[in-house]
Amino acid sequence: MHAIEPYHNWRHIYIASEDDKSPFWEREYSEFEFSNKIYNYYIHPQWDYFGSQTIYLKILFTDYEKGYAIIELIGEWNDCIDNDIMTLKRNVLDQLMGNGITRFILIGENVLNFHCSDDCYYSEWFEEVVEEGGWIVGINFREHVRSEMQTERLHHFINLGEQFTNFTWRPLAPQRLCELIERIMERSIGLLSD
């Protein structure tokens, strides 16, 4: 796991540690010292610790004017042990939403397992963003993780649809990715209201 780095090709556009509205403002990173671990496995030092012992993240892009954030995740999303969704909501998402972010793109290809407790914080997060015309999308979550999330009915809060599986996002500029997902969501919402 130590070789898996957060996606870095957008660093010329956005760096969370240089964004004074980011929860990771002025955070310093080592390129060589591996100190963060998920269970007994060291992870790359560029991932951000936000309070969970089992999952880390990287805010890859934020556009406060348009209300978007793209967040990449790594590890085990475990609500049973440490209530990761509560920690994520309180330590990261609330600050982003307080600065106008209402559209969240979660990149989950490095989420290796998922364990649910209840849906209270998912519901709270969803209600807060939908109230402002936003949404939450999960792209490229592994099949077993998506299946577990759907079994727990979290697809009511995080859009995990087939159109977001094997989604080619890396060649796109972040603004283009946001626009593309916005169009998909508008079509989905339009179909639901018909």
- Per-residue pLDDT of 19-32, as tens digits, reads 999 999 999 887 77
Position 8 in a domain: no
What mean pLDDT value characterizes the chain? 93
State the pLDDT at residue 194.
41
In this prediction the pTM is 0.94
The total of structural domains in the chain comes to 1
Is residue 5, in this structure, part of any structural domain at all?
Answer: no
pLDDT at 36 over 60: yes
61-111 tens-digit pLDDT: 999 999 999 999 999 999 998 899 999 999 999 999 999 999 999 999 999
Is residue 3 included in any domain, yes or no? Answer: no
Q: In the structure encoding, which two tokens stand for residue 105, read together? A: 């793109």
CATH number at residue 162: 3.30.750.24
For residues 39 and 75, give the distance between their C-alpha atoms in angstroms, rounded to a whole number: 9
Question: What is the span of the domain harbouring residue 117?
Answer: 16-193
- Please report whether residue 11 resides in a domain: no
Among 142, 84, 90, CA closest to 116: 84
Q: Give the DSSP letter string of 122-180.
A: HHHHHHHHHHTT-EEEEES--HHHHHHHHHTTGGGTSB--GGGSS---TTS-HHHHHHH
Contacts for 183 with CB less than 8 Å, ≥ 6 apart: none
Which pLDDT value is given to residue 62?
A: 98
In a domain, residue 163? The reply is yes
Would 7 be classed as within a structural domain? no
Asked, for residue 67, whether it belongs to a domain, the answer is yes
Q: Is it the case that residue 187 has pLDDT exceeding 60?
A: yes
- Written as one letter, the residue type at 152 is E
In 3D space, the residue among 37, 48, 44, 94 whose CA is nearest the CA of residue 71 turns out to be: 48
* Residue predicted with more confidence, 5 or 58: 58
C-alpha span between 32 and 45 (Å, rounded): 7
pLDDT beyond 60 at 189: yes
The pLDDT of residue 14: 97
